Structure 1
Amino acid sequence: MLFDLPDHDTLYEALLARDTRFNGQVYVCVASTGVFCRLTCPARKPRKENCTFLGTVGECLEAGYRSCKRCHPLEPMAMADPAIATLLAALDERPDYRWRESDIERMGLDLSTVRRSFKRQFGMTFLEMARQRRLRDGFETLAGGGAVIDGQLDAGFESASAFRAAFLKLLGKAPGKLSTDPLLFADWVQTPLGDMVSVTSASQLHLLEFIDRKALPKELERLNVHAKGRLGIGQTEPAAQIKEELDAFFSGSSSEFQTPLAYHGSEFSGAVWDALRKIPAGTTRSYSDIAVSVGRPSAVRAVARANGANQIALVVPCHRVIGADGSMTGYGGGLWRKQKLLEIERQYLSEKARENHHVTD
């Protein structure tokens, strides 16, 4: 992103006005349709609460949105590079096909050129774009007790080494190194804001993070050490419970999370996380508010560090903390997710509270 995005209200007004100033710099992702568009799209305008604004096409794709067939937001990239146009068209025709490098070569395209072009335009390679969902298929095969080779094939990976590398990047352990007698179990969680990983014991939730969070590998490494190397994959009662509660949260039926939690941090951090859980859905607090609530009004920076160290996203709602001036602050899952979560949670406010409370976009 080459510039800071304006606030949500400004961008929504630009969308309504079909403002051309933001072409190529901002895209609107529409939750009700699963599509992302240019702000100048001629289609009927979505409701404000269904809109999330992102700065790059890559972010939109990573968030699980597909390109609009009316305003064609991928067209400038495709027009700039015929190889991109060819592959995007092929992907549209066969979205479920397990694309491989050999497929690209058979189309008469140079692998290194295609890789550079997609990285430059989308922040990911074509194969990463096409295989993003496949890793989930392999994960679920292993979680169900399948062999590593079956997980590799289900994930659409040509080589065992590539499959191992993908798992190593995600979980910090190759499939063959995962414990066959785990104390902690990793599980894949699908949400409307992107896939997540949960880590549970037989009785508690230890971690819940978006898979693209940069801190995830180190968090998983620490949990593996905590479990004395016995980190594996599979489902537990807490894993099933958190999936049900996340489904209820995103569907608008409940903002309550009752899954038992296991904190990994200092006593002070635990106090901060407890304070975060007391913030009602649809409302926000500042770091100084939290510092006062835990009896340490001068410990604002320490509160911010504890907030950033939280590894149980959504359940411990660090996304509800904003700057003292009402501005959005950093979020490990991405500011666009933080904005969207706050928008989603407005539905949990009473009508009177919604009128009286302002959530910063």
Structure 2
Amino acid sequence: MITNEQTKKKYYQAMLEKDSNYDGIFFAGITTTGIFCHATCPARKPKYENCAFYETAEEALLSGFRPCKRCRPLSYPKELSPVVQQIVSLVEENPDKRWKDADFERLGIHAATARRQFKKKYGMTFVQYARARRMGIALKEIKAGEKVIHAQIDSGYESSSGFNDAFFKIMGHSPNKSRESINLYGNWIDTKLGPMLSIADENFLYLLEFVDRRGLEREIERLRQKLNAAIIPGKTVISEKIEAELKVYFQTGLAKFETPYQLIGSDFQKSVWKELLKIEKGKTSTYKELAEKLGNPKAMRAVGNANGANQLAIIIPCHRVVQSDGTIGGYGGGVERKRWLLNHEKNG
């Protein structure tokens, strides 16, 4: 999501003027209607405070917005092919559906053709598109928390139960009744670097991630299965504690987080994460140095994989690991976020 006020005002002015030079440059999410549009949408313009701006359609989808039926932002800059138009419509009819090759075959569409056309059109695969739509619905529910009134949500469903079903199909139905199960609570946290998702119970934090992180859906599903848990919207004392600590972290800096958490991973992954915790605020380490500290200098790739599997962003400071040549390297939350976090910790 775009947070720079100057840029947001520029984009809002472009919307008011229906400036075609900005079509495809940004997408505007309208919080009062739950839809997103491109710059030249002919619909009545919302107030500035009711707009959120995104660089990509995928970001808008992940934030819970659905495509405007009037300006069709997913059709820009060319008309959709019949194949893409058909499957976009089907996703909107049933956003929670997990598509398989057999589903395309039943429609008389070759799966590879659909994927190729989608990638060319949107810069993301069909799987990414469908996932973003499902995740957006689930995260929108979490953001609303217990205050949500389904009948008032303009989500494109014929009934509130349809919206509920979409949430539980992505966040997890109630676990098998024959086994002991737990409830985990998902909470939406707005930060300077974009919204984050926490998943916790009354005792521990299990996940903290930026909501647009690629692979978040898989992380949630692995967590749900390992703990045999149902994940529902809501807050616990742990959710509130990490939210308060993040507020301090982003404002003035925080040397150490005190929120209790549980590490869910292999013994090797846990050993890597514990080494990450030893990297002091304002400093960095390399994959090679971490491997050496673990007694296996050749395990740099395995260390990198464990680093990427970290489910507690910022708390377990995987962003403090850089390449041996000093370059910043990758980061699940995005390289620009990593650069900001390092500068923030160095100067804070």
- What interval of TM-score do these two structures reach, taking the shorter chain for normalisation? 0.5 to 0.7
Partner in structure 2 of residue 317 of structure 1: 317
Aligned mates of 2:338, 2:279 — CA distance in 1: 15
Residues 245 and 256, structure 1, Cα contact 8 Å, conserved in 2: no
- Displacement of 1:299 in angstroms is 1.7
Which of 68, 84, 90 is residue 10 of structure 2 equivalent to?
68
Over 3 Å counting, the alpha-carbon distance change for 1:230 and 1:30 in structure 2 is: closer
Q: Does 1:77 align with 2:46?
A: no
Q: Does 1:265 align with 2:269?
A: no
Residues 138 and 153, structure 1, Cα contact 8 Å, conserved in 2: no
User: Where do 1:124-139 residues align within 5 Å?
Assistant: 138-139=141-142
1:231 counterpart SS class: strand
Q: How many percent of aligned residue pairs carry the same amino acid?
A: 30
1:87 counterpart SS class: coil
Residues 171 and 232, structure 2, Cα contact 8 Å, conserved in 1: no
Query: What's the TM-score, normalizing by structure 1?
Result: 0.61
Provide the aligned C-alpha RMSD in A: 4.1
Partner in structure 2 of residue 284 of structure 1: 284
Partner in structure 1 of residue 212 of structure 2: 212
Aligned mates of 2:143, 2:254 — CA distance in 1: 27
Residues 136 and 188, structure 1, Cα contact 8 Å, conserved in 2: yes
Partner in structure 1 of residue 183 of structure 2: 183
Over 3 Å counting, the alpha-carbon distance change for 1:252 and 1:305 in structure 2 is: same
- Displacement of 1:163 in angstroms is 3.7
Partner in structure 2 of residue 96 of structure 1: 50
Amino acid in structure 2 at the alignment position of 1:340? W
Amino acid in structure 2 at the alignment position of 1:87? C
* Structure 1 unmatched runs, 5+: 1-28, 37-65, 124-128, 349-361
Q: Does 1:87 align with 2:41?
A: yes
1:187 counterpart SS class: strand
Query: What's the TM-score, normalizing by structure 2?
Result: 0.63
1:144 counterpart SS class: helix
Residues 186 and 197, structure 2, Cα contact 8 Å, conserved in 1: yes
Over 3 Å counting, the alpha-carbon distance change for 1:187 and 1:116 in structure 2 is: farther
CA displacement 1:302-328 (0-9 Å, x = unmatched): 111110111111100111111000112
Residues 137 and 166, structure 2, Cα contact 8 Å, conserved in 1: no
Over 3 Å counting, the alpha-carbon distance change for 1:215 and 1:85 in structure 2 is: closer
Q: Paired residues, what number? A: 269
Aligned mates of 1:77, 1:194 — CA distance in 2: 23
* Structure 2 unmatched runs, 5+: 26-36, 52-63, 81-117, 125-131, 176-180
Aligned mates of 1:140, 1:280 — CA distance in 2: 32
Residues 253 and 344, structure 2, Cα contact 8 Å, conserved in 1: no
Partner in structure 1 of residue 248 of structure 2: 248
Partner in structure 2 of residue 49 of structure 1: none
Aligned mates of 2:251, 2:310 — CA distance in 1: 24
Over 3 Å counting, the alpha-carbon distance change for 1:75 and 1:300 in structure 2 is: same
Amino acid in structure 1 at the alignment position of 2:156? E
User: Where do 1:14-93 residues align within 5 Å?
Assistant: 33-36=4-7, 66=8, 68=10, 76-78=21-23, 84-87=38-41, 90-91=44-45, 93=47
